[in-house]
């Protein structure tokens, strides 16, 4: 019995470590699923896309991440990436890209690591005015460049060593997901970990890439200046 008393704390420690590690692995799986499902479902929207479609996508993502409390501790950033139609349209034989619009979900304070739509004056657009008829408010092709680590990457979006671009006449749904891991055990060695995943899918059977309102009031749209769960 004495020996067991000495060994018990170690067994408990190992057991908790195993449970925490399993929980961390599950969190990675969920974030990966959220990234892939959001990009895929956004790419499946046919003909045109609107704010109602976006809100539906994010409801699905919230359900996938419910078990890890994703909505309160994570952020999804969905970007529409397209080939430029305004010169210069090519760099080293590859189509130049731009970010037409961006939509977000989740309570975590996080901005895109891979660029954002910008106005002609270079201001980042977070209020959903990308399709505004006023050129000073809408996204500008020359300014809305993809980037990596703060450096413009005109021909593709994503990590510097793994970039992708849309083909002429189509668009790419690019998703970034960021999540602050919530450990089961206080003072866990896995606390203060941030999980990040990206995913991208080409749109299918959608010829109009402009974001429509879909009858959704401005205050209910998933613009990137909103933080909600």
Nearest Cα to Cα of residue 223 among 95, 96, 122, 132: 132
| Residue 74 structure tokens | 């994570």
pTM (2 decimals)?
A: 0.93
What are the boundaries of each domain within the chain? 2-220
If pLDDT is split at 50, 70 and 90, which confidence band does 16 have? Answer: low
Question: Measuring CA to CA, how many Å separate 200 from each of 141, 170, 185?
Answer: 20, 13, 34
Inter-residue contact 158 to 109 (CB < 8 Å): no
Mean pLDDT throughout 182-211? 92
**Cβ 170 vs Cβ 204: under 8 Å:** no
Q: What is the arithmetic mean of pLDDT over 216-224?
A: 96
Give the span between the Cα atoms of 229 and 207, in whole angstroms.
Answer: 31
Taking residue 86's Cβ as centre, other Cβ atoms within 10 Å add up to 10
Instruction: Give the mean pLDDT of 139-153.
Output: 95
Is the pLDDT at 9 greater than 60? The verdict is: yes
């Amino acid at each position: 019995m004495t020996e067991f008393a000495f060994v018990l704390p170690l067994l408990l420690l190992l057991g908790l470590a195993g449970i925490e590690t399993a929980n961390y692995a599950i969190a990675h799986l969920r974030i990966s699923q959220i990234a892939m499902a959001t990009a895929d479902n956004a790419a499946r929207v046919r003909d045109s896309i609107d704010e109602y479609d976006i809100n539906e996508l994010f409801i699905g993502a919230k359900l996938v991440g419910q078990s890890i409390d994703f909505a309160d501790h994570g952020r999804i950033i969905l970007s529409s990436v397209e080939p430029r139609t305004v010169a210069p349209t090519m760099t080293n034989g590859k189509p130049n890209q731009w970010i037409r619009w961006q939509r977000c979900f989740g309570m975590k304070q996080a901005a895109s690591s891979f660029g954002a739509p910008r106005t002609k004056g270079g201001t980042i657009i977070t209020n959903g005015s990308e399709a505004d008829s006023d050129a000073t408010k809408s996204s500008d092709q020359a300014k809305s460049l993809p980037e990596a680590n703060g450096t413009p990457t005109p021909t593709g979006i994503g990590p510097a060593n793994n970039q992708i671009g849309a083909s002429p006449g189509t668009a790419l749904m690019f998703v970034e997901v960021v999540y602050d891991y919530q450990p089961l055990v206080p003072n866990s060695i896995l606390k203060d970990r941030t999980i990040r995943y990206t995913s991208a899918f080409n749109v299918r059977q959608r010829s109009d890439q402009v974001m429509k309102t879909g009858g959704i009031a401005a205050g209910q749209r998933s613009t990137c200046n909103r933080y909600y769960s």
